[in-house]
């Protein structure tokens, strides 16, 4: 009986954290919609981001409510690996949606593009000369998030051993700050500053503001 209770507790913690990742990933998927402010014509493709984002957030919320534990969610490095693996696969599958529906890629091409973006390998099958601006912005966002350490950023709201297990499972065992939450904030600050500085430099060199950001 104790073994069953222990396994139930571990599965509960894993599924609850996967739910948290889906909620944050869904929210991030809405960020390309800010482009509609300056480019209203992109509104036609907004559903390709809103629908998968809502599906992720609703699914994540249901997981959090169903499996949320009253105790602190502490993971081992092995359990952290499970969270990272399952979360990566789910989020990458949702990431393919805009590439298929807006960019017209096949599933294999969209999966390759999403995987390449999150892992920041630099490979791409998107024709940047014909792709819509909202797709180009989405590529830039997932590459920025992937480079900043997706698991660390997604787990930045989780303190203690949980964050250490997840970031360690992603291959980032050394922290630049004493705590995972501090490391996540510092990593994001560094990447945002680099992105802002680079965009400003390109803009000053004569690029349009959109091209400079991307």
44, 80, 99 from 179: Cα distances, Å: 43, 16, 36
Q: Whole-prediction pTM value? A: 0.80
Cβ proximity of 25 and 91 under 8 Å: yes
Given this model, what pLDDT does residue 176 score? Answer: 43
Q: Which two tokens stand for residue 26?
A: 């869904």
- For the stretch 61-106, pLDDT in tens is 999 888 876 555 567 777 777 888 888 899 999 999 999 999 989 9
In the chain, which residues have pLDDT < 70? 1, 69-74, 149-181, 183
The pLDDT tens digits of the residues spanning 199-212 come to 999 999 988 888 88
DSSP string of the chain, one letter each residue: -HHHHHHHHHHHHHHHHHHHHHHHHHHHTTGGGGGGGT-GGGGGGTHHHHHHHHHHHHHHHHHHHHH--SS-----HHHHHHHHHHHHHHHHHHHHHHHHHTT---HHHHHHHHHHHHHT-----S-TTTS-HHHHHHHHHHHHHHHTTHHHHHTTT--THHHHHHHHHTT--S-SSSSHHHHHHHHHHHHHHHHHHHHHHHHHTT--HHHHH-
What are the sequence ranges of the domains in the chain?
A: 2-213
């Amino acid at each position: 009986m104790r073994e069953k209770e222990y396994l139930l507790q571990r599965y509960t913690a894993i599924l609850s954290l996967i739910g948290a990742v889906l909620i944050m990933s869904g929210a991030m998927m809405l960020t390309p919609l800010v482009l509609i402010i300056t480019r209203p014509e992109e509104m036609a493709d907004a559903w390709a981001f809103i629908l998968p984002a809502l599906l992720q957030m609703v699914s994540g919320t249901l997981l959090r409510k169903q499996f949320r534990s009253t105790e602190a969610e502490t993971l081992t490095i092995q359990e952290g690996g499970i969270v990272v693996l399952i979360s990566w696969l789910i989020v990458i599958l949702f990431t393919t949606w805009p590439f298929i529906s807006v960019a017209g890629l096949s599933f294999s091409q969209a999966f390759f593009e999403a995987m390449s973006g999150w892992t920041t390998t630099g490979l791409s099958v998107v024709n940047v000369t014909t792709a819509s601006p909202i797709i180009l912005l989405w590529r830039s966002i997932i590459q920025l998030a992937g480079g900043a350490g997706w698991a660390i950023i997604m787990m930045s709201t989780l303190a203690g051993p949980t964050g250490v297990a997840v970031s360690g499972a992603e291959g980032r065992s050394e922290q630049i700050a004493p705590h995972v939450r501090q490391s996540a904030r510092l990593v994001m600050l560094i990447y945002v500053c680099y992105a802002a500085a680079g965009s400003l430099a390109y803009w000053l060199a004569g690029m349009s503001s959109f091209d400079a950001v991307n």
